[in-house]
Amino acid sequence: MQQEVSLSPPSHRDVSSTLVKRSLFLAKGYDKLKLEPDSSCSWFYSKKFDKILYGRESLELFKFQSGVKIGSSQRESTIRVSPSQITFSSRPFEGLLLTQTIRIHSAESSAYSRVIKLTNRSGAQMKLRLVTLHDPTSLNFRREKDP
């Protein structure tokens, strides 16, 4: 069963990530971005250059406790869709609120941005290291129906 979410009114709506089963698309001008419900990006297509510019990209959070790497549990997140951006909000660890806002920038060049906001609501001190990785080889393994 497919469920559609209306964007008007209001101009944005919060949806649980468990209800979204398909990819989300964000388009602006000649650019198109394919996002998955887990906030990962599958590809970024620019019609201006007539090709996919970026491959798979995702954000993974983990912490170290007594020298052991502990990954964040995949908890339910909230997706807020508006005409110009998509926002993902989740609580990967106890006391930590993660908000990611993704938008397309179309000007002289084609690009998208991911703004990450972390809020520590626990009393404990946290150290943060952020590493971003893009896999350009993933462009070779995309589906035929992708642009």
pLDDT in tens, 80-133: 988 789 999 988 888 888 899 999 987 777 788 889 998 988 888 877 777 666
Does residue 143 register a pLDDT over 60? no
Quote the tokens at residue 79.
Answer: 């997706």
Residue pair 15/4 in contact (Cβ under 8 Å)? The answer is no
pLDDT of residue 8: 44
What are the tokens at 68? 């052991």
Residue 132 has a pLDDT of 67
Taking CA atoms, 37 is separated from 84, 122, 126, in Å, by 17, 27, 27
* pLDDT of the residue at 122: 84
Question: What pLDDT, on the 0 to 100 scale, is given for residue 135?
Answer: 63
Q: Is 137 helix (H, G, I), strand (E, B) or coil?
A: helix
Q: Which residue intervals of 36-77 are DSSP H helices? A: none
